[in-house]
């Protein structure tokens, strides 16, 4: 099966950034460049992903590398540049069978989470690696079996995707698929009372939806479960948090604090003239007048903030 792109009709193109690659029937990592001191391969595609699925079938020619440096392979998520961090869900690595690793400039690669013994992987056996990304949540499956459901400590830096390989032995990547799914999510933290409910219905929700966001407010979710866990999950899956902080609500500041702990973009809103907590003074806040005349201005400012965030999230391939 050829490479597939479910974002648009353009064919998938590849550029080798590190290592020796062949791009004919799928993608084949042939090994490191001779003069390279680091035996890895990096191939970037013309595809981008923001909230969706990336998958590939991976086959190792051998795993007991005679050079003693190991062999593993995976896919790259959130690539922006070689000088920025990115995430690699992979087969093999660090003596484990299944790994989600991250690359940090100046520090190299390190595992975020790992499981299983690498001895359970076999050469010349096709393994289907599928990764779903929602906000900062990464779900990884191997041959349709769920292996990881991991929340990243930081948002992904970019949206470009690619392939990653380590070792001196050839590795085949086939049936590469990129599938964009759904809209970027905006989680709204605010008191559930007037006048904030009206402000939400007339300003926050329509402005965010007009720009293409899926807007989530926890009181609008009708499903069983623990609300506390639902809030955490929705914030983790969101690309941005919008918080109305005029009223000193413990729930709102907890949700905002959790978003800040994840280093997630946040847009803060408050009525003009209200005294804000000291901890918030260093953050940029959109102040608005609770009047008919103040509505167009706060709409424009909110729209500008969300548009800037959305521009960084929008696939361009």
pLDDT in tens, 112-152: 999 999 999 999 999 999 999 999 999 999 999 999 999 99
Which residues, listed in sequence order, are joined to residue 14 by a DSSP beta bridge? Answer: 45
pTM (2 d.p.): 0.87
Task: Answer yes or no: do 160 and 302 share one domain.
Answer: no
Task: Answer yes or no: do 37 and 133 share one domain.
Answer: yes
What is the residue range of 18's domain?
A: 4-180
pLDDT at 222: 60
Task: Answer yes or no: do 79 and 112 share one domain.
Answer: yes
Q: Show which of 159, 180, 201 is a domain's final residue.
A: 180
Task: Answer yes or no: do 176 and 31 share one domain.
Answer: yes
Cβ atoms < 10 Å from Cβ of 274:
13
As to burial, measured by CB atoms within 10 angstroms (0-12 exposed, 13-18 middle, 19+ buried), residue 260 is middle
Give how many domains the chain has, as a whole number: 2
Residue 166 CA to its chain's centroid (Å): 23
Task: Answer yes or no: do 236 and 102 share one domain.
Answer: no
Cβ atoms < 10 Å from Cβ of 245:
23
Task: Answer yes or no: do 295 and 219 share one domain.
Answer: yes
Task: Answer yes or no: do 156 and 221 share one domain.
Answer: no
At residue 67, does pLDDT exceed 60? no
pLDDT at 5: 57
Task: Answer yes or no: do 121 and 21 share one domain.
Answer: yes
How would residue 66 be classed by pLDDT, with cut points 50, 70 and 90? low
pLDDT at 312: 73
Six token digits for residue 24: 């004919």
Task: Answer yes or no: do 152 and 249 share one domain.
Answer: no
At residue 3, does pLDDT exceed 60? no
pLDDT at 34: 76
Q: Show which of 147, 180, 213 is a domain's final residue.
A: 180
Q: Is 118 within 8 Å of 96 (Cβ atoms)?
A: yes
Q: Which residues contact 132 (CB under 8 A, 6 or more apart)?
A: 52, 53, 138, 139, 140, 141
At residue 314, does pLDDT exceed 70? no
Euclidean distance between CA atoms 126 and 113, whole angstroms: 23
Q: Show which of 180, 204, 227 is a domain's final residue.
A: 180
């Amino acid at each position: 099966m050829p490479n597939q792109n479910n974002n648009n009709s353009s064919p998938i193109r590849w550029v080798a950034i590190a290592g020796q690659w062949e791009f004919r029937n799928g993608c084949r990592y042939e090994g490191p460049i001779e003069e390279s001191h680091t035996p890895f391969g990096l191939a970037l595609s013309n595809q981008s992903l923001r909230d969706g699925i990336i998958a590939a079938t991976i086959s190792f020619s051998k795993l007991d590398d005679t050079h003693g440096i190991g062999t593993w392979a995976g896919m790259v998520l959130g690539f922006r540049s070689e000088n920025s961090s990115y995430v690699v869900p992979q087969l093999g690595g660090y003596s484990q069978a299944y790994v989600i690793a991250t690359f940090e400039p100046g520090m190299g690669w390190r595992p975020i989470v790992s499981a299983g013994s690498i001895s359970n992987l076999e050469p010349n056996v096709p393994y289907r690696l599928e990764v779903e990304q929602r906000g900062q949540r990464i779900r990884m499956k191997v041959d349709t079996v769920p292996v990881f459901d991991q929340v990243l400590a930081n948002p992904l830096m970019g949206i470009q995707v690619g392939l990653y390989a380590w070792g001196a032995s050839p590795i085949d990547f086939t049936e590469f698929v990129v599938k964009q799914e759904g809209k970027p999510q905006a989680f709204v933290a605010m008191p559930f009372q007037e006048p904030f409910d009206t402000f939400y219905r007339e300003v926050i929700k329509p402005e965010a939806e007009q720009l293409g966001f899926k807007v989530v407010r926890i009181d609008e979710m009708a499903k069983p479960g623990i609300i506390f866990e639902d809030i955490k999950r929705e914030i983790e899956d969101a690309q941005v948090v919008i918080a109305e902080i005029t009223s000193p609500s413990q729930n709102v500041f907890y949700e905002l604090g959790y978003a800040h702990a994840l280093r997630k973009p946040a847009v803060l809103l408050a009525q003009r003239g209200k005294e804000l907590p000291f901890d918030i003074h260093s953050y940029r806040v959109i102040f608005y007048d609770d009047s008919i005349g103040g509505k167009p201005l706060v709409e424009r400012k909110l729209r500008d903030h969300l548009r800037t965030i959305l521009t960084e999230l929008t696939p361009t391939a």
